[in-house]
Structure 1
Amino acid sequence: MAVTAAQVKELRDITGAGMLDCKKALEQTDGNVEAAVTYLREKGIAKAAKKADRIAAEGLCNVIIEGNVAVIYELNSETDFVAKNEKFLSLLDSIGHIILTSGVENTEAAMQVVSNGKTVETLLAEATATIGEKITLRRVQRVVKADNQLFGSYKHMGGRIATVAILNGGDDAVAKDIAMHVAAQKPQYLDQTQISADFIAKEREVLVHQAMEENAKEAKPKPQNILEKMVEGRLNKQLKDICLVNQPFVKNPDETVEQYVKNNKAAVASFVRLEVGEGIEKKDNDFAKEVMEQVRA
């Protein structure tokens, strides 16, 4: 019988399984939703739904490069212990190669890529059921360079932080140095031309208020023109701190990143930095309480 979109949605809401898995289950059970739930449970796919509300804020980031294309991505688990598991590490590698060869450029598209008859979404659901923790693909970015450019990549602590940089000129050692610096110093922008006028205006406003409050407490307040110069000085320092080219080079703080690459006949074209769990609000779990609740259940 023909499976309707409404049936697929109903089964997906119940089990949390992927759309293609739900469609296949309904086809195998002649559209019987209850039987389809059992089918998915037997396949180990529906078990992932029980973990759907958990927070996966651990895991690893990775970079895979092939020719002029790189993919940098984050695969999450609930605990760092699982992130060291061989099954997780194997999944991390295979997912990366699937993404790289597929040509997709973002997470949403990556989830629907099919490999050996299964979507990435299905592979993650199966891994969740097998490993016993919620496994999610959170961020995917595709990076492409020109033939005359160089990739530099770096992973810190096995992938807690992963970076990829593109250089014009230089050599592989310089490119890796820049990727390592990005991992260590966490720049937000390449240079000040990338910073929006709104961001600068808001930061200036904050610094003005800070300077006025400080000045009000002074026994001998500074004149307005001095305050304005002080604010601009603080603002310029702040903007330099968040721009890669202006940061002191991590291997030699006596020169900036811009000076370092220039001395090596290179220039930084772009960079991407991922750190595990950025922006995720983690739960403070009371494990003793959780265990006791399970014992009473």
Structure 2
Amino acid sequence: MANFTAADVKKLREMSGAGMMDAKKALSEADGDLDAAVDALRAKGLATAQKKSSRTAAEGLVGVAVEGTKGVAVEVNSETDFVAKNDKFQAFVRTVTKVALTLDNDDVEALKAADYPGGGSVSDKLTDNIATIGENQQIRRMKTVSVSQGAITSYVHNAAAEGLGKIGVLVALESDLSADTLEPLGKQLAMHIASMFPQALDAESLDPAIIERERKIAQEKAAESGKPEAVQEKMVEGAVKKYAKENALLSQMFVMDNKTSVEDTVAKFGKENGGSVKLTDYVRYQLGEGIEKEESDFAAEVAAAVGG
């Protein structure tokens, strides 16, 4: 008996772009494991690498705030997009993000325990919101970036309100140039990050587990080529290096010209403006990335309700 459903086949096709029969065969061989099935399809050249965030569906808002040379991003989840449009929920996310700016760490529990303006703790206010709005809400994560001198630039893609949206980005530029001078560069870099979804600042910072996964996929592809072992090894190393280059922020081609790397673009900007600039850190929070939301079968629910 197959350990997958028609919904799994549909999801795999959306994740991979593979055909119906290829998706079914891959799921069967992977015993229903979606990630393993995607890897198998990619190894056979039947799928393209896709970000997990493209198949997530958690709701809520990402808030970003900057004060001087420090910035923070906070993700607060809700059950429905309707609540994310609620003025009270938006005010809560905006306030919590500002509270997060006052902390010295990225500990969500510390944020919950922090004082909330007007009385009580952030956790108390969250509990009150849940009771008032009637829907579960969670402060999921936060990250702070800072520089000793330079600028922190923020960007929200498709903002729901000022500083709030579904993709929030922060860029940390260490520099002896003024914040006003750095602002245009910071905005362009933030838009690049929102669009290109880098996995880490540089190749050395990429998750070793992800690199190993890419290596195994490349090895399977190389083995199927039938070429000599020495050639296969070069093919594998080339594929891994290509992946690292395309997924590390500093080595990505800058979207504004698609000719120069982000690292070289930043260095060039500093030279042209008579100073030094270094991109030292960034945050890219996309609402719900890494969370799988259960999809309900509405027709089945209605039938069950009628039958009950």
TM-score (norm: length of structure 1) = 0.72
Conserved in 1, the CA contact under 8 Å of 2:145 and 2:282?
no
Please name the residue that 2:166 is paired with. Answer: 160
Separation (CA, whole Å) in 2 of partners of 1:132 and 1:246: 46
Separation (CA, whole Å) in 2 of partners of 1:291 and 1:140: 39
Please name the residue that 2:9 is paired with. Answer: none
Please name the residue that 2:240 is paired with. Answer: 235
Matched residue SS, 2:258: strand
Matched residue SS, 2:81: coil
Q: Of 239, 245, 252, which aligns to 1:247?
A: 252
Matched residue SS, 2:131: helix
Separation (CA, whole Å) in 2 of partners of 1:270 and 1:173: 17
How far apart are 1:106 and its partner, in Å? 1.6
- Tell me the amino acid that sits aligned with residue 219 of structure 2: V
Deviations 1:112-163 (A, max 9, x none): 11223312112111111211221111111222221x2211211112111111
- 1:90–1:292: structure 2 CA closer, same or farther, 3 Å change rule? farther
Please name the residue that 1:12 is paired with. Answer: none
How far apart are 1:81 and its partner, in Å? 2.0
Please name the residue that 2:64 is paired with. Answer: 63
- 1:105–1:227: structure 2 CA closer, same or farther, 3 Å change rule? closer
Trace 1:109-148 onto structure 2 (pairs within 5 A): 109-115=110-116, 116-146=118-148, 148=149
Conserved in 2, the CA contact under 8 Å of 1:153 and 1:180?
no
How far apart are 1:245 and its partner, in Å? 1.2
Gapped regions of structure 1 (runs ≥ 5): 1-55, 216-221
Separation (CA, whole Å) in 1 of partners of 2:232 and 2:62: 44
The number of residues matched between the two structures is: 236
Conserved in 2, the CA contact under 8 Å of 1:145 and 1:166?
yes
- Tell me the amino acid that sits aligned with residue 183 of structure 1: A
Conserved in 1, the CA contact under 8 Å of 2:60 and 2:78?
yes
- 1:213–1:113: structure 2 CA closer, same or farther, 3 Å change rule? same
Conserved in 2, the CA contact under 8 Å of 1:58 and 1:83?
yes
Separation (CA, whole Å) in 2 of partners of 1:254 and 1:114: 48
Cα RMSD (Å): 2.5
Conserved in 1, the CA contact under 8 Å of 2:64 and 2:74?
yes
How far apart are 1:186 and its partner, in Å? 0.6
Gapped regions of structure 2 (runs ≥ 5): 1-56, 160-164, 271-276
Q: Of 250, 267, 277, which aligns to 2:278?
A: 267
TM-score (norm: length of structure 2) = 0.69
How far apart are 1:67 and its partner, in Å? 1.6
- 1:165–1:125: structure 2 CA closer, same or farther, 3 Å change rule? same
- 1:294–1:253: structure 2 CA closer, same or farther, 3 Å change rule? same
- Tell me the amino acid that sits aligned with residue 85 of structure 1: N
2:259 aligned with 1:258, yes or no? Answer: no
Matched residue SS, 2:260: strand
Conserved in 2, the CA contact under 8 Å of 1:106 and 1:142?
no
Separation (CA, whole Å) in 1 of partners of 2:207 and 2:75: 27
Deviations 1:28-52 (A, max 9, x none): xxxxxxxxxxxxxxxxxxxxxxxxx
% of aligned pairs identical?
Answer: 37
